[in-house]
Amino acid sequence: MSRSPGRKQENHKISRELFVLTYGALVAQLCKDYEKDEDVNACLDRMGYSIGIRLIDDFLARSAMKKCRSYSETADVIAQVAFKMYLGITPSVSCSNATGNEFSLILDKNPLVDFVEELPAERASLCYCNLLCGVIRGALEMVHLAAEVSFLQDRLKGDAVTEIGITFLRKPEDRKHRRN
């Protein structure tokens, strides 16, 4: 039996839509389970972190990426390869500071919110897509890059864009091991 050339892409799109719908149900259930938005945000971050520490192996195997030589190269790979591979989007990257360890990923389209119109007023501090921050943080940690990852702006909260901030916590020379 032969497969039509568009079949793989069609399955990928169905999988993405199923993930988005399932993700919405997950967030709704967490909102029922936890009274405080901060608890929901923390739970989504922990879940994302667990996904990220496992997803990095799949990413490295499927992308055949070599070791990045700088934080800017790492941010570009996250945006241009990882987001494209797993979410089908390519955020733009901007460096946020002169030291070159803070970057922003600007998402023109966020597939996780395709079926979300707006957050309820009583959930104003909910970070609906906080799972993404945990995934990025977990994946980076597995390649020995400690980072803080958080949403800086969110269209669901009325901001003009959706922006994820990544701050690498160590300078590249800090990662070298010293022998005693």
Residue spans per domain, the chain? 16-168
Give the mean model confidence (pLDDT) for residues 63-76: 92
Q: Check if the beta carbon of residue 132 is closer than 8 Å to that of residue 48.
A: yes
pTM of the complete model: 0.86
- Please give the pLDDT value at position 170: 77
Give which of 136, 137, 116 is closest to 128, Cα–Cα. Answer: 116
Q: Which two tokens stand for residue 52?
A: 């990220």
Q: Quick one: which of 11, 168, 178, 174 has its CA closest to 75?
A: 168
91: how many CB neighbours lie within 10 A of its CB? Answer: 24
Q: What's the pLDDT band for 121 if we cut at 50, 70, 90?
A: confident
Structure tokens given for 82: 């990882």
Q: What is the pLDDT of residues 125-172, one digit of tens each?
A: 999 999 999 999 999 999 999 999 999 999 999 898 999 999 999 765
Looking at the domain that runs over 16-168, which CATH code has it been given?
Answer: 3.30.1380.20
pLDDT tens sequence across 86-111: 888 999 999 878 888 999 999 998 98
Confidence of residue 8 (pLDDT cuts 50, 70, 90): low
